[in-house]
Amino acid sequence: MSGAVTQAAARLPDFAPGWPLRNPHLQSTLASMSPRRLLWRLHDRSMEDAAHPHLLECGGGDRLLGFHSPQPAGHAPRGLVVLIHGWEGCHDSVYLYSMACHLYAAGYNVFRLDLRDHGGTHALNREPFHSARMSDVLGGIRAILCLDATRPLFCVGFSLGGSFALRIALQGAAQGLRPELAIGISPAINPAATLNAIDHGNPLYLRYFLKKWRKTLENKNNAWPEHFDFSAAFRFGTLTEATRHFAETLTEHRDLRRYLDAYTLTPAMLKDAPVPVAVITAQDDPVIPFADFAGLRAIGSVAAFLAPRHGGHCGYIANWRLQSWAERAVTALLDAACAGENR
């Protein structure tokens, strides 16, 4: 199967947007612009019309919310794709919504999973979200499979969600969860480097992420006023400082380095994953340093490594119709995996 995916990746056309779409900041901005969602709603609402919310029991009292879009009755699905948004995104984030529509139109069942404390779910669980927590995500995948047993199973994530998708591939097998392919799009595999890139890169990204982070802390505090007081966190001016305080006071790791190490991935780890993985990342990503992927190539469990020169962060917008090269690439990889499984 991984050989079929590797061959499909080799056949994909290069991502070569025209100027000014080569600008990484424009790509990163267009990825989340609402006109992309509006275009799908005007053109094809079938994924959204089929969607039903589900509260997932993930074990240990943890719960996650997600939206399931099965294919219509009489249409055999090609597989089940679990989609995971990035940090402070949700099931309705434009890049995730658009990918879901594209895959649904290609014949896949789609489940858009909201991570803990995302998508307005701050009241579901008392313990706050952190990026190293995997138990509820793995429990969520198990609950999704009880809801929809369609095979093959695929996991696709963006940014931090890309890290979660790849960690499902790495850690899920020990619990009987074996996706046929896990794809990370602009995955945050080296969180220390990502924090540094945001803190010392374009100040617009730092302001954006700090604003989003503070807002989610406010929402968590409002949902659990007797349990949390995040006021001290608002004095920090960098994401590294804020994350250090959070790791030391609100995670079991009690130390920034141990916390970041708990969800750091390396090319060697991906190469040795128990199930096939694929990575799509742009060389000009302003928040995910391309150096994090040094030495990565299609070898071992890495069925595909696509690294176009342009694309920004989760962008890959091919034209002014806001069509996504990443959606085409992911569909081709999943189709190849299905074909390889059926041989």
- pLDDT score for 2: 77
- pLDDT score for 231: 82
Regarding whether 226 and 172 lie in a shared domain, the answer is no
Regarding whether 196 and 124 lie in a shared domain, the answer is no
- Contact (CB, 8 A) for 250 and 181: no
CA 201 to chain centre: 22
- The residue among 228, 263, 298 that closes a domain is 263
CA 244 to chain centre: 23
The mean of the pLDDT values for the chain is 95
- The residue among 243, 263, 283 that closes a domain is 263
Rounded mean pLDDT of 28-56? 93
Q: What is the CA radius of gyration of the chain?
A: 19
Regarding whether 99 and 7 lie in a shared domain, the answer is yes
Strand pairing of 62-69 and 109-113? antiparallel
CATH number of the domain that 100 lies in?
3.40.50.1820
- Contact (CB, 8 A) for 309 and 334: no
Regarding whether 156 and 302 lie in a shared domain, the answer is yes
How far apart are the C-alpha atoms of 129 and 250, rounded to whole Å?
10
Phi and psi torsions of 159, nearest 5°: 55, -120
Q: What is the pLDDT of residues 185-225, one digit of tens each?
A: 999 999 999 999 999 999 999 999 999 999 999 999 999 99
- The residue among 214, 230, 263 that closes a domain is 263
Indicate the pTM of the whole model: 0.97
Its domain, for residue 100, covers 2-190+265-341
Q: Domain total for the chain?
A: 2
Q: Which residue has the tokens 């220390």?
A: 192
pLDDT over threshold 70, residue 342: no
